[in-house]
Amino acid sequence: MLTIPADARPELRRWFAPERPGPLIFEQVARTGRGRCRVDRWPDPRVVLAELPGNYALRGDPGYLADGDLDDVAGFVEAPPEWLPALRALDPATAVWDRLVAALPAAVAVPPPARDVRLLTAADAPALAALDEESAWIHETWGGPEVLAAAEVAYGATAGGGLASVAVPFYVGGGHEDIGVATVPAQRRRGLSTACAAALIADVRTRGRTPTWTTSPDNTASLAVAARLGFVPVREDVLYAVRTVVPG
Mean pLDDT of 7-22: 97
Question: Reduced to 3 states, what is the DSSP secondary structure of residue 212?
Answer: strand
At 138-156, the pLDDT tens digits run 999 999 999 999 999 999 9
At 73-115, the pLDDT tens digits run 999 999 999 999 999 999 999 999 999 999 999 999 988 878 8
Identify residue 83 by its one-letter amino acid code: W
Alpha helices (H) in 38-154, listed in sequence order: 84-90, 125-129, 145-151
Residue 39 pLDDT:
98
Say what the pTM is. 0.95
Main-chain phi, psi angles of 167, to 5 degrees:
-115, 130
Mean pLDDT of 51-76: 97
Residue 212 pLDDT:
98
pLDDT level of residue 70 (50, 70, 90 thresholds): very high
**Mean pLDDT for all residues in the chain:** 96
Closest CA to 222 of 126, 116, 138, 127: 138
Residue 113 pLDDT:
78
pLDDT level of residue 38 (50, 70, 90 thresholds): very high
Task: Report the C-alpha gap between 128 and 134 in whole angstroms.
Answer: 12
Check residue 243 and give left, alpha or beta (phi > 0: left; psi -120 to 50: alpha).
left
pLDDT at 129 over 90: yes
pLDDT at 160 over 90: no
pLDDT level of residue 161 (50, 70, 90 thresholds): confident
